[in-house]
Amino acid sequence: MTQSGIFRGTRLTALSAAVIAAVLTLSACSTEMTAGDTEQTAAATEASSLLPAGEGTTEYPLTLETPFGETVLEERPERVAVVSAVGVDTESLLALNAVPVFAVAKYDGEDPWLPEDLWEQVEFTEQGVAGEEISAESIAASEPDLIVNLQAYETFDQNRFDQLSSIAPVLYADAEETSWQDVLNSLGKTLDLETAAAEKIAEFDARIEDIKADNPEFAGKTISMVNVYGRETGASYETMPGTDTAAIVESLGFTLPENAYKFPEEEYGEISDEMVGLIDADVVLVGILGDTGAYFTDQPLFQQIPAVAEGRTVITEGDEAQDFTWGLTRAGILGKLWALDTFEDLATQALS
């Protein structure tokens, strides 16, 4: 089961802040600005055809640090290529009302939370597969002045960095060390849209607080979320400690059952037959993402789980499962905001 980049905490910690600081290091500049400097700064804040106007807080040149070397943005970029197939990078850029010149069209922009008017402006798209790198030639053809890979796979190495940095400066972070908030903040800093990024995160936090206040019955209840893929891929436990999803449900008042700590992190939460019974909790939400999940939900091991036998399990299928489950567990800010309402309804249904 290949599911890169899902073991990340949601709240920004000191470590998360350090990640952003390491990625973005401002070049030293003089405190005295000439008229020419002022004109250059003003030009950098102007809107382009793909990006909104800058806020005037990020100073360029901006050095982008990675474990593989540094690249420098001499001025505010206008043509941003997003090269991760995970989708969080692209979604985060769109959330800032910015349009990538190149994006991986893994889902063809069909996710219901993506703003169609912005997605339709993407000039270059290429089909991508999670865990695989995108053709450098295709990226170069879009003539980017910034390449974004803030959800980088383990396959990203020195050779890949050298390849991409020969095209344009590279904004990089390891997927397993980067939360969706980190992605937004890094993009905001790099594109001179820090306030816009902070406002999006604040919008999410406010929605969390609203749902928590409206549903005091969530407090202290345990919860498990499970994704069921095709038979060959199997099922995965989505609320493992340290994941974005676990942090979201905890922020809503839920707690993780003790068994959540028993799923092996190195297997990305894969649920083997002997572990099916461990998904029991006060609330169990199951999303069927394959053509059929009957092989999993019809088996006696699943049917014998107390939460299933007692009606505290809600199973979603088809588009509903795809949109809700993917939105909450895999998407960025837009998908998570979109999925929160459905989560509230399903959790309430399970508890009633």
Quote the Cα angle for 171-177-179, to 5°: 80
Number of domains present in the structure of the chain: 2
- What is the number of other CB atoms lying within 10 angstroms of the CB of residue 331? 26
Q: Using only C-alpha atoms, what is the Rg of the chain?
A: 21
Residue that has been written with the tokens 């249904």 in this structure: 349
Whether 102 shows a pLDDT value over 70: the answer reads yes
Residues 179 and 102 in one domain: yes
Q: How far apart are the first and last CA of the chain?
A: 34
Mean pLDDT score, 149-167: 93
User: For the ranges 23-27, 266-270, 288-292, which has the lowest average pLDDT?
Assistant: 23-27
Residues 66 and 23 in one domain: yes
Residues 257 and 325 in one domain: yes
Domain-located, residue 9: no
Question: Average pLDDT of the chain?
Answer: 86
Residues 197 and 63 in one domain: yes
Gap between the Cα atoms of 94 and 345, Å rounded: 27
Domain span including residue 133: 14-204
Residues 285 and 193 in one domain: no
Q: Which of 25, 28, 102, 100 is nearest to 66 (CA)?
A: 25
Domain-located, residue 6: no
Note the pTM of the prediction, 2 decimals: 0.84
pLDDT score recorded for residue 8: 39
